[in-house]
Structure 1
Amino acid sequence: MRHVGLKARMAIAGSMLFAFYAVAAVVVMGVFDWPLGLVLLGSVAFVGVQYKIGKWMALRSVGAEDLPEDQYSDIHRRVESLSRDMGIDKPRLMIARMGVPNAFAVGRKGAGTVVVSEELLRVLEPDEVEGVLAHELAHIRNRDVVMMVLGQGVASIVAIVAQWVVLLTGDNDLADLFLAIVVGQITQMLVMVFVFAISRYREYVADSDAAEEIGSGEPLARALEKISRSAERSQDTEIDSQVNALCIFGDGGGLARLFATHPPMEKRIERLRG
């Protein structure tokens, strides 16, 4: 069984997210006096819609476009070969201008999408690009990217419910509006703690998988070094916080390690070369 540790973490985080979501559904049922059947049906449908919207928004936020096969035939060939070796369908390949060298994946094994930035293709050598692509394909194979998108969607839904509870139980004045915003932000961050924990661990797993697939961790280690240096020099990133959590390189995502979306880059590089 591959990656028992990752599967266990995903199961625990998924259970916690379900619990948060169930509480939100019960609150909605109580506040609006809706029947249980309607709430259950709406909850399931809303999760599906959130997943679709989350995937669409991630691609739209960076202005992703299809990667022309005639212009980037080598990349398409490498991804096709890697996908076959990894037992997944070849994902849709897209390119975007992100302001920094980066890449991310969304979707599941049968309908995945990998986005690479123009900056990444300019900075990296072909074998380093292959390491990054193998990393993103590993995320799709491991299904952790689905958990990330769903987790962000559930966190948003629970935060919205918390805000409405404050507004509907208050005096409907400006103070209640301010309190609702604060409560919503805190609630969303608390739910996202469980998603962040998976986010950090899944990066190590995808790094390891990529090194295994291409036969060495060195190309990906060099790629991460170049990506990190380029990101430090650039202040013109065009990646929002939610997409940043999906990327191969992130800025840490918070004030403390508890809220970091990525493990320290130096530790990832050390593991790849260890």
Structure 2
Amino acid sequence: MHRRPPFPTTRHKLRNLFQSLALLAGMLTLLGVCALVVWGPQGLVWAVLTGAFSLVLTPTVAPDLVMRLYRAVPLRPHDAPDLHHLLETLSRRAGLSRLPRLYYLPSPILNAFAVGTGDAAAIALTDGILRTLTSRELAGVLAHEISHIRHRDLWTMSLADLMSRLTSLMSWFGQLLLLLNLPAVLLGGVTVPWTVVLVLIFAPTAMALLQLALSRAREYDADLGAVALTGDPRGLASALAKLQRYQGAYWEEILLPGRRMPEPSLLRTHPPTEERIRRLLALEAEAEPPVLPPVRHHLPAWAAAVPHGPRWRWPGVWY
């Protein structure tokens, strides 16, 4: 029976949790302010009800369907037994109810991503990442993705995305109403406070920044969760450094084409790699030595025979 490594840095965990809750509360407040400005008190109630019902009724996309979209190939236990043994060990330590399914993505890009929840999840590993990372680094990456599943980060980001879309919808509707009433405003028949105009114009941008900040907070928390599962901060730190060295700071180039364009740090979906590595190495003195099964063979024998990887198609989708 494997013992879960203790995690002594509770203050880091609480800080990340508080930050995520504060950002979600900020997004909810901004959504409420937009509803209040556009429709009044009744609009505020309806916005909350609409968001709640939409979140509950929105169908969950099956992880296998997402993987088929990216032409990922299932990695079965007999294809990569060592990799599956490592996955089972980390999933058991994380307390997942079901083992995530592993997929091989025939792409030279160094990338890994998870979809789904603890009840049904899948993790994709690209050909590039399997050929480049060591066993220790691969364990850190897998633990990071399992932490995303364990923390239900996909659900959290779906909630944030829903609030962002509702805010943008109300902002555009409010601006349309202002445009239609512009003659009355210019003639002095209708008075519109400048605060209302500013809220309608800048609310979508403020919501997008909060959403990006939430994504970065969840990444920090996933790094922290990975250390709790592996007891090895340096393994994940080494993987992050290698990923940045090989292809830059963005892991999800395959999912977010065009992210290599220069942009302010405030607009990054992921935290700066240097800061993530610094935080990970700060935990090294308190973590236990890693005790994980080795992964001697990362790739199945048929990996070289898999057809070409995903290609870019309009409107920015890879499949």
Amino acid at match of 2:15: G
Q: Return the match for 2:166 from 141, 157, 167.
A: 157
Matched, 1:47 2:63: no
Q: Return the match for 2:131 from 119, 122, 147.
A: 122
Aligned residues: 253
Matched, 1:20 2:30: yes
Mean Cα deviation higher: 73-82 or 95-104 = 95-104
Q: Residue 131 of structure 1: CA displacement?
A: 1.0
Q: TM-score when scaled to structure 1?
A: 0.72
CA distance in 2, matches of 1:26, 1:148: 24
Secondary structure of the corresponding residue to residue 3 of structure 1:
helix
CA distance in 1, matches of 2:276, 2:43: 49
Secondary structure of the corresponding residue to residue 176 of structure 2:
helix
Matched, 1:78 2:86: yes
CA distance in 1, matches of 2:37, 2:173: 10
Secondary structure of the corresponding residue to residue 266 of structure 1:
helix
Matched, 1:102 2:96: no
- The change in CA–CA distance for 1:23 and 1:123 in structure 2 (over 3 A counts) is same
Structure label with greater radius of gyration: 2
Residue pair 2:100, 2:121 contacting (<8 A) in 1 also: yes
- The change in CA–CA distance for 1:104 and 1:238 in structure 2 (over 3 A counts) is closer
Amino acid at match of 2:23: A
Mean Cα deviation higher: 59-68 or 264-273 = 59-68
Q: Any idea what the Cα deviations from partners look like across 1:114-159, whole Å, max 9, x if unmatched?
A: 3322321122123221110001112222334432232123212311
Q: Return the match for 1:137 from 142, 146, 167.
A: 146
Matched, 1:224 2:232: no
Matched, 1:238 2:254: yes
CA distance in 1, matches of 2:69, 2:30: 27
Q: Return the match for 1:272 from 254, 277, 280.
A: 280
Q: Any idea what the Cα deviations from partners look like across 1:228-271, whole Å, max 9, x if unmatched?
A: 1221399x943227xxxxxxxx9699733332222221232233
- The change in CA–CA distance for 1:204 and 1:36 in structure 2 (over 3 A counts) is closer
- The change in CA–CA distance for 1:40 and 1:144 in structure 2 (over 3 A counts) is closer
Matched, 1:4 2:14: yes
Residue pair 1:10, 1:144 contacting (<8 A) in 2 also: no
Q: Which runs of 5+ in 2 are unaligned?
A: 1-10, 182-198, 283-319
Amino acid at match of 2:52: V
- The change in CA–CA distance for 1:221 and 1:52 in structure 2 (over 3 A counts) is same
- The change in CA–CA distance for 1:255 and 1:233 in structure 2 (over 3 A counts) is closer
Matched, 1:261 2:277: no
Q: Residue 171 of structure 1: CA displacement?
A: 4.8
Instruction: Name the residue aligned to 2:298.
Output: none
CA distance in 2, matches of 1:55, 1:165: 37
Amino acid at match of 1:230: Y
CA distance in 1, matches of 2:205, 2:64: 22
Residue pair 1:51, 1:150 contacting (<8 A) in 2 also: no
CA distance in 2, matches of 1:17, 1:29: 18
CA distance in 1, matches of 2:30, 2:65: 23
- The change in CA–CA distance for 1:233 and 1:266 in structure 2 (over 3 A counts) is closer
Amino acid at match of 1:161: M
Q: Any idea what the Cα deviations from partners look like across 1:59-97, whole Å, max 9, x if unmatched?
A: 677455544443233322211211111112322333435
Mean Cα deviation higher: 256-265 or 90-99 = 90-99
Identity of aligned residues (%): 30
Indicate the structure whose relative CO is greater, using CA pairs within 8 Å and at least 6 residues apart: 2
- The change in CA–CA distance for 1:37 and 1:205 in structure 2 (over 3 A counts) is closer
- The change in CA–CA distance for 1:129 and 1:108 in structure 2 (over 3 A counts) is same
Mean Cα deviation higher: 143-152 or 61-70 = 61-70
Amino acid at match of 1:203: E
Mean Cα deviation higher: 108-117 or 189-198 = 108-117
Q: Which runs of 5+ in 1 are unaligned?
A: 173-182, 242-249
Secondary structure of the corresponding residue to residue 160 of structure 2:
helix
Amino acid at match of 1:128: E
Amino acid at match of 2:121: G
Question: Which structure features the higher share of helix residues?
Answer: 1
